[in-house]
Amino acid sequence: MSGVGLVSSEGLAAGRGRRASRAEPLQLATAPLEGRYLSLGLNLGLGGDESADQHEILPQGDTYPVVGLEASIVKLGGRDFVWFGGYADLVQSLPNRATRISLGPEVGWGPLGLDLGLLGELRRGQLGGGFQVRGLLTIAYVTAYASFHAVYERGERRLRENAQVGLLLKLPFIMELTGNDGPPSRRR
């Protein structure tokens, strides 16, 4: 989900203190409540290859646009806003014709999150593997991120490092509500 889920109060169980076990299937979320969420979205970013000067800490070579899709399944722990789950994404870097797929766990508190995933990349007919680490900041349906990924290149026997920044435009859907039906002011 890459951030706090939002849930609609419609479809929740009526009555004070009653637990809401289910919402309508894949109902769009509009307020944070304890439960499980499916979040689907579009990834728009800008990537950068590593610098020719290997003494630089961050990649600072050529930049390129990146587009892709992402899906997350996340459990929001309720009023403490702790969340955890998993993600999968598929991105295409346009000029260098590389396709990357990654998947792994993600955790967070409120709007801040972190994910760490295994990464596979198809670039110029060569398949490589590596990892990705990504920091997340979510506000409503938009997540800003900064990621670092490294892919092992067999021919050169080294890790090629890249950095990427961008936005995830995501819609969270309710899979299951597990807590009370919201704060006392929203209860019927």
Please report, for the chain, the start and end positions of each structural domain, with discontinuous segments joined by +: 40-69+79-171
- Residues 31 and 37 sit within 8 Å (Cβ to Cβ): no
Fold of 40-69+79-171: Porin (2.40.160)
This prediction's pTM: 0.75
Tens digit of pLDDT at every position of the chain (188 positions): 554 444 443 433 333 344 444 545 677 777 778 899 999 999 999 988 665 555 554 445 578 899 999 999 999 987 778 999 999 999 998 877 789 999 999 999 989 999 999 999 998 888 889 999 999 999 989 999 999 999 988 777 888 888 899 999 999 998 988 876 544 433 33
Q: CA angle at residue 53 from 48 to 55, to 5 degrees?
A: 105
DSSP codes, 81-122:
-EEEEEEEEEEEETTTTEEEEEEEEEEEETTEEEEEEEEEEE
Which runs of E-coded beta strand occur in the chain? 27-28, 35-49, 63-76, 82-93, 98-109, 112-123, 126-139, 142-153, 158-177
Q: Which residues, at least 6 apart from 100, have a Cβ–Cβ distance to it below 8 Å?
A: 68, 89, 90, 91, 92, 93, 119, 120, 121, 122, 149
CB atoms inside a 10 Å sphere around CB 51: 15
Residue 184, SS3 per DSSP: helix
